[in-house]
Amino acid sequence: MLVRGLCLAAVLSSFVPPPPAPLLVSAATSLTDALEEIGRDYAASGGGTVRFNFAASNVLARQIVSGAPADVFISADEAQMAVVQKAGAVAPGSRLDVVSNQLVVAALAGRAEFVAARFAEAPPEIRRLALGDPAAVPAGVYARQYLEARGLWKAYEARIVPAGNVRAALVALENGAADAAIVYATDMTIARGAVVAFAIPPNQGPRIVYPAAILTTTSNQSEAKRFLAFVAGSRAAEVFRRYRFLPIPRNERR
Q: List, in order, residues 6 or more apart from 37 with CB less than 8 Å away.
A: 239
Domain membership flag for residue 11: no
Domain membership flag for residue 84: yes
Give the percent of the chain with pLDDT over 70: 90
- CB count within 10 Å of CB 245 equals 24
State the pLDDT at residue 19: 58
Query: In terms of pTM, does the model score above 0.85?
Result: yes
Q: Highest-confidence range of 95-99, 199-203, 246-250, by mean pLDDT?
A: 95-99
- In whole angstroms, give the CA distance from residue 51 to residue 54: 10
Query: Does 17 score more than 80 pLDDT?
Result: no
State the pLDDT at residue 117: 98
> β-strands 23-28, 50-55: how paired?
parallel
Same domain for 58 and 133: no
Same domain for 95 and 109: no
Domain membership flag for residue 12: no
> In the beta sheet, which residues pair with residue 172?
none
SS3 244: coil
- In whole angstroms, give the CA distance from residue 71 to residue 218: 4
State the pLDDT at residue 229: 97
Domain membership flag for residue 8: no
pLDDT tier at 254, thresholds 50, 70, 90:
low
Domains contained in the chain, number = 2
Same domain for 222 and 169: no
Domain membership flag for residue 73: yes
Note the residue count of the chain. Answer: 254
CA dist 65 → 62, 101, 143, 212, 216 (Å): 5, 26, 26, 16, 11
For residues 96 and 229, the answer to whether their CB atoms sit within 8 Å is no
Domain membership flag for residue 94: yes
State the pLDDT at residue 21: 80
Question: What's the domain range around 115?
Answer: 103-204
State the pLDDT at residue 210: 98
List the CATH number of the domain containing 229. Answer: 3.40.190.10
State the pLDDT at residue 202: 86
Which of 204, 219, 241 is where one domain is finished?
204
Same domain for 239 and 155: no
